[in-house]
Amino acid sequence: MTANAASTSNAAALDGVDLSLIEALQLDGRRSFVELAGLVGLSEATVRQRVRRMLEARVMQIVAITDPLTLGFRRMCMIGIKIQGALMEAAEALAAFTEVDYVVVTSGAFDLIVEAVCQDETHLLALLDRIRAIEGVRDTETFIYLRLHKQTYAWGARPPAPP
């Protein structure tokens, strides 16, 4: 089963309680199972089991999210990349870079888009050199973040409100 097929089947297996647990953990990933149980009206053991099942199925992760600027990383950017040849091999090579937060296969002007976090311009330039050295990379375009206006990880638990 592919990753996309697995995530689709996992999503279909979620019920309203699972979605409520995800929402609560998105607001505060350190909430206790006792507190979560009170929110959804189930026992602590049942909530613990549901959360473990969703973690094991990779429906969600509970992680610490940092602000790169406070850790000394002054350059954040998106890099659009055009590939000629083996797309997935290039994506795998990019995913191995520690500076790269995520790699997205896209349609449109770029084949791949990556987000990168670097210490400064010198670090970013070195990363771009390493990216351009990957076999199949034929063009890059860098979009440097001037200000992060909104960042959220709350998507996925509930469908968006209609317009």
Whether 159 is in a domain gets the answer no
Which residue would you say has higher pLDDT here, 82 or 145?
82
129 belongs to a structural domain: yes
H-run or E-run covering 83: strand 75-83
Is the domain of 51 the same as that of 92? Answer: no
Q: Which two tokens stand for residue 156?
A: 């996925």
What pLDDT sits at residue 9? Answer: 47
Same domain, 10 and 47: yes
Examine the domain organization and report whether 75 and 138 are in the same domain: yes
pTM of the entire predicted model: 0.71
- Under the banding of pLDDT at 50, 70 and 90, the label for residue 37 is very high
Q: Is the pLDDT of residue 149 over 90?
A: no
Instruction: Measure Cα distances from 123 to 79, 130, 160 in Å.
Output: 14, 11, 38
Q: Mean pLDDT lowest for which of 15-24, 120-129, 152-161?
A: 152-161
Taking residues 56-73, report their average pLDDT: 82
Tell me what pLDDT residue 155 has. 65
Determine, yes or no, domain membership for 91. yes
Alpha carbons 45 and 51: distance in angstroms, whole number: 10
- The mean pLDDT of the chain is 87
Query: Is a pLDDT exceeding 50 seen at residue 7?
Result: no
Instruction: Between 11 and 104, name the one with better pLDDT.
Output: 104
The domain of 13 spans 3-56
**How many CB atoms are closer than 10 A to CB 20?**
17
Distance between CA atoms of 17 and 54, rounded to whole angstroms?
12
Residue at 141: amino acid letter: E
Percent helix, strand, coil in the chain, to 5, is 40, 20, 40
89 & 135 share domain: yes
Question: Residue 90's domain is classified under what CATH number?
Answer: 3.30.70.920
List strands edge to edge, sheet with 75-83. Answer: 100-105, 112-118, 75-83, 137-144
Identify the CATH number of the domain in which residue 52 sits. Answer: 1.10.10.10
By CB atoms closer than 10 A (0-12, 13-18, 19+), residue 57 is middle
Count of other CB atoms within 10 angstroms of residue 53: 14
Mean pLDDT of the region 43-72 = 88
Q: Is 96 within 8 Å of 152 (Cβ atoms)?
A: no
Both tokens of 79, joined, read 């890099």
Q: Is residue 13 situated within a structural domain?
A: yes
**Residue 20 covered by a domain:** yes
Question: Is the alpha carbon torsion for 151, 157, 161, 163 positive or negative?
Answer: positive
Regarding whether 77 and 39 lie in a shared domain, the answer is: no
